[in-house]
Amino acid sequence: MAVQEQALLAALASVKDIYTGEDIVVSKRVQGLQIDGDHVTLKVVMPYPAKSLEAGLRAAIEAAAKQVGATNVDISFELKVIAHAVQQGVQLLPQVRNIIAVASGKGGVGKSTTAVNLALALVQEGARVGILDADIYGPSQPMMLGVQQRPESDDGKTMQPVENHGIQAMSIGFLVKQDEAMVWRGPMAVQALEQMLRQTNWHDLDYLIIDMPPGTGDIQLTLSQRVPLTGAVIVSTPQDIALLDARKGIRMFEKVGVPILGMVENMAAHICSQCGHTEHIFGEDGGKRLATEIGIDYLGALPLDMQIRLQADGGAPTVVADPDGKVARLYRGIALQVAAKVAKRSKDYSHKFPSITISKAT
């Protein structure tokens, strides 16, 4: 019996994205639909990287199609990440569709470790990802990515990003000696960051993760005003003193029109490697309470785990060092939430607006 298209589409509408809540028909993810008797062929276009979800989606689509008479279902997946809206008056960066800031109000909460693992998780889910280490005074990404080489320049004006673990990276740490202190005032640091951002030849990135410097001072404020940010992720420990500063970071982004994609609670609990006892060293659920109070999404909690530190210090962060481990799955779950939230944001139309120039009348 031949499958009827309307019946098939009605059945496929029952298949929903667990992160966005959208069904695959209304969200126009089903494309190239072909029906030949009881043989169905279709393509699912994903607006965010989600390789780990493909098996579940495939099974759900096959089950839905078989309910209306299909006996053979061929399904392919395609990733199509588009550029989304940024702050008003800030132009997008060429070759970069979305920029996500990973920030904290203070240092020492594991922001850089979280940033690099989120970037690596997005790569594993199928995206093209870069990371900009925006901490001029204490760059961490060269060590965490296990690279110390200087960027190459073909024209003497722009730089090629350094690559490792599938990530394109740029950091002041690639340009200076490892033990050299950057004794620069704020304006010089901001200028250096803008040069690294705009004079790096990023190659067709779906996402650029910016590992922001800690705090909410002039450098952070200037970056959040000048860099075309799709959104920001806030990292904090559950400790009250860290949450005070995290709140300031959230308010800074709100003032400049950068949406908060959510909060990550890092070092949420320590599990003893000897006895398995769980202890909340920095307090319990502080980040979750703050997220609820302010009205932002809580993306999840990460443990205080010695392996996370050892793997990052060794140049192979958790997501690549132990990709099937529990902690890597936590990072991927957070990355999927972040990417899905970006996908639901408004599309960027600024590139379609004509440039207006004013000249003197003759």
Annotation: binding site for ATP: 105-112
Binding site as annotated, residues: 105-112
Residue with tokens 């550029």: 83
List the structure tokens of 65: 């199609």
Residue with tokens 């722009």: 158
Residue (of 138, 214, 131, 137) closest to 166 by Cα position: 131
Across-strand partners of 235?
264
Across-strand partners of 279?
270
Question: Exposure pattern of 282-316 as b/e (b: 16+ CB <10 Å)?
Answer: bbbbbbbebbeeeebebbbbbbbbeebeebbeebb
* Rounded Cα distance, 157 and 139, in Å: 22
Instruction: Count the alpha carbons within 13 Å of 270 in the hemisphere toward its beta carbon.
Output: 10
CB–CB of 72/38 below 8 Å?
yes
Burial class, 250, CB count within 10 angstroms (exposed 0-12 / middle 13-18 / buried 19+): buried
* Rounded Cα distance, 93 and 191, in Å: 16
Residue (of 225, 240, 233, 266) closest to 88 by Cα position: 225
Residue with tokens 């990276």: 169
- 318 phi/psi in degrees, rounded to 5: -50, -40
